[in-house]
Amino acid sequence: MTSSCPWHSNPTATNRRAMPDRETLIALKAQQNAFVLGTRKSNLALIQTGHVADDLRDLHNVEDENGQLPAYPFTFSIESMTTVGDRNQTTPLHLLSPYSSTQPAKSLWTDELEARLIGGHFDMLVHSLKDVPTVLKDGCEIGCMAKRHDPRDALVIKEGLPYKTLEDLPDGSVVGTGSVRRVAQLKRAFPNLVFEDMRGNLNTRLAKLDNPSSPFAALILAMSGLTRLGMAHRVTSPLSSPTLMHAVGQGALGIEIRTDDIRTRNVLRGLGHWQTEWSCGAERGCLRVLEGGCSVPVGVETEVVELEESDPLLQGIEDPFRDEVEAALTEESPMLWFSGLVIPPSSRPSTPTFSRDSLPPLRKRVAKLTLKGCVTSTDGKKHVVYTPAPIIVRSYRQAEKFGEDCARKLREMGASEILDEINAIRKEREAADLAKAIERSRAAAQEAEKVGVVQGGAAEVVA
Ligand SMILES: NCc1[nH]cc(CCC(=O)O)c1CC(=O)O
């Protein structure tokens, strides 16, 4: 990995002197216009982070009127690290992220990265938004979300099989996917098919699928991941409601920063895509109210369409937040609160800084927001869908609030019952798994003792 910081690229330097403390590290990088982007060590994560770094370079290192690049260009280097989720590719995800009512769910992919973000080693983290918990660690926030790709799931058929859709698959066909949400919704729509867990990175999964001796006839994967890895040609059919609603945040990237890091906040201005931010804000608001500490089978579909304040269409759409007065934006406001309001800078957006006297230029936006959400029981038997009428929103916060309201409505409609059941089953299963693990380690210890005895005996004979 290349890096502009000497102690990142020179391993012996780390041995000779102590790691600089957080403040020194941050100050040194600031002096050098250097930013370190952190991400997971998977193909997909590295490709995504590469795109973000390229976009940031394009945005900031622009030529002046004389065709000259800035004398001190910004550097955006990438460093990847293996996370708990990556290290363990075999354990089903629900066992890797045990039930907890206090810890945010699904932080498998982000915990270790966040620790190094807070510590000043990374300046921003590039995540698949889908993998980012809806509650972030104190001191961290999503600085922006990059433009979303196709958020849908997709069907991939085993090489050589003639099928195109789930409807085509013969009864009893085995379909691989690692996600509770996909299994729950698909079991409901296709009780004749068998859904089995499959983990591993995308390439491994495709190889397992295509292996003639594997039982799998098909896989369900995210369209965006396949596209980013150049595998879009493997998609035989995209899936959407009513068959399968996609995961919250699927297809979008979330860039996480330190809340107090004005330098990185500024450098991200102009990178976010406000329609993506408002859509995903609504989806994440909905999930946050539904999950309460564990990952749950929630599907969504969202659309944000910008309208003019004078658009006659506006009259026919519900406008629940019309009279709401929002708290003023300050330099401490979360970055996403500026989403859609901030006019994207035309060039060198990093030069002006946020200060109490000079907030970035703001513009009012009006958009039609459509959100549809569902919660499905693990066996697919109970399924609650809420499809409210579209509403008018004028900020990220309003979109988020609408998502939260939809979640409350879903809970009233029966989602709470489904979620309580899932939590109860999860706790039971974890207790059983724990008991099994204890039994296994006891058996292994006994086995080791036996081997030890035999070896000891043999050694005596030799002696
Ligand atoms: N948890 C796995 C994961 N996290 C992000 C993606 C890619 C899809 C995306 O960008 O949202 C995938 C793979 C998949 O679900 O098929």
pLDDT per position as a tens digit, 61-120: 888 788 888 777 899 999 999 876 666 555 555 454 444 434 444 566 678 899 999 999
Catalytic residue chosen out of the listed positions 54, 58, 131, 323: 131
Residue 426 covered by a domain? no
Question: What percent of the chain lies above the pLDDT cut of 90?
Answer: 57
- Give yes or no for residue 178 CB within 6 A of ligand 1: no
- Give yes or no for residue 42 CB within 6 A of ligand 1: no
Average pLDDT score over residue span 278-290: 97
3-state secondary structure 95-144: HHCCCCCCCCCCHHHCHHHHHHHHCCCCCEEEEEHHHCCCCCCCCEEEEE
pLDDT greater than 70 at residue 352: no
Identify which has the larger pLDDT, 34 or 434: 34
Whose structure tokens read 């907890």? 100
- Give yes or no for residue 251 CB within 6 A of ligand 1: yes
Identify which has the larger pLDDT, 129 or 359: 129
Q: What is the pLDDT of residue 279?
A: 98
Beta strands in 269-397 (DSSP E): 298-307, 366-376, 383-386, 391-393
pLDDT band at residue 157 under the 50/70/90 scheme: very high
Same domain, 285 and 393: yes
Task: Tell me if 336 sits within 8 A of 277, measured CB to CB.
Answer: yes
Average pLDDT score over residue span 312-331: 88
- Antiparallel, parallel or unpaired: β 383-386 and 174-176: unpaired
Pocket test for ligand 1, best of 43, 44, 279 (most atoms within 8 A of CB): 44
Same domain, 319 and 296: yes
Residue 65 covered by a domain? yes
CATH code at position 305: 3.40.190.10
CA distances from 354 to 75, 115, 329 (A): 21, 26, 11
Residue 444 covered by a domain? no
What value of ipTM does the predicted structure carry? 0.94
Cα(375)–Cα(53) distance, integer angstroms: 36
Where is 46: in which H helix or E strand? helix 43-60
Q: What is the pLDDT of residue 458?
A: 37
- Give yes or no for residue 225 CB within 6 A of ligand 1: yes
Distance (angstroms) between ligand 1 centre and the Cα of 222 equals 6
Average pLDDT score over residue span 232-254: 97
- Give yes or no for residue 250 CB within 6 A of ligand 1: yes
Least confident among 35-39, 56-60, 182-186, 386-390: 56-60
Residue 181 covered by a domain? yes
Same domain, 261 and 400: yes
Highest mean pLDDT among 52-66, 68-82, 213-227, 322-336: 213-227
Same domain, 296 and 325: yes
Q: What is the pLDDT of residue 90?
A: 54
Same domain, 167 and 293: no
Average pLDDT score over residue span 29-39: 90
Q: What is the pLDDT of residue 356?
A: 47
Same domain, 172 and 254: no
Q: What is the pLDDT of residue 105?
A: 42
Residue type at position 296: V
- Antiparallel, parallel or unpaired: β 194-196 and 298-307: unpaired
Same domain, 407 and 321: yes
Same domain, 264 and 322: yes
Residue 178 covered by a domain? yes
Average pLDDT score over residue span 208-237: 96
Same domain, 135 and 28: yes
Distance (angstroms) between ligand 1 centre and the Cα of 359 equals 35
Distance (angstroms) between ligand 1 centre and the Cα of 251 equals 7
Same domain, 203 and 138: no
Domain C-terminal end among 204, 223, 245: 245
Active site residue 131: yes
Structure tokens at 140: 């961290």
Which residue segment(s) compose the domain that 63 sits in? Answer: 6-150+249-416
Closest residue (by CA) to atom 7 of ligand 1? Answer: 225
pLDDT band at residue 294 under the 50/70/90 scheme: low
pLDDT greater than 60 at residue 267: yes
Same domain, 41 and 145: yes
pLDDT tens-digit series, residues 354-400: 554 566 667 889 999 999 999 999 899 999 999 999 999 999 999 99
State the total domains in the chain: 2
- Give yes or no for residue 187 CB within 6 A of ligand 1: no
Domain C-terminal end among 245, 271, 305: 245
Determine the atom of ligand 1 nearest the C-alpha atom of 153. Answer: 16
Average pLDDT score over residue span 426-434: 83
Average pLDDT score over residue span 262-291: 93
Residue 402 covered by a domain? yes
pLDDT band at residue 460 under the 50/70/90 scheme: very low
Domain C-terminal end among 398, 416, 434: 416
Closest residue (by CA) to atom 10 of ligand 1? Answer: 251
Q: What is the pLDDT of residue 178?
A: 78
Q: What is the pLDDT of residue 292?
A: 62
Same domain, 278 and 386: yes
Identify which has the larger pLDDT, 109 or 196: 196
- Give yes or no for residue 340 CB within 6 A of ligand 1: no
Residue 26 covered by a domain? yes
Task: Count other C-beta atoms under 10 Å from residue 310's C-beta.
Answer: 7
Q: What is the pLDDT of residue 384?
A: 97
Q: Minimal CA–CA distance to 146: which of 283, 272, 48, 282?
A: 272
Residue 1 covered by a domain? no
pTM value is 0.85
Average pLDDT, the chain: 85
Task: Tell me if 382 sits within 8 A of 418, measured CB to CB.
Answer: yes
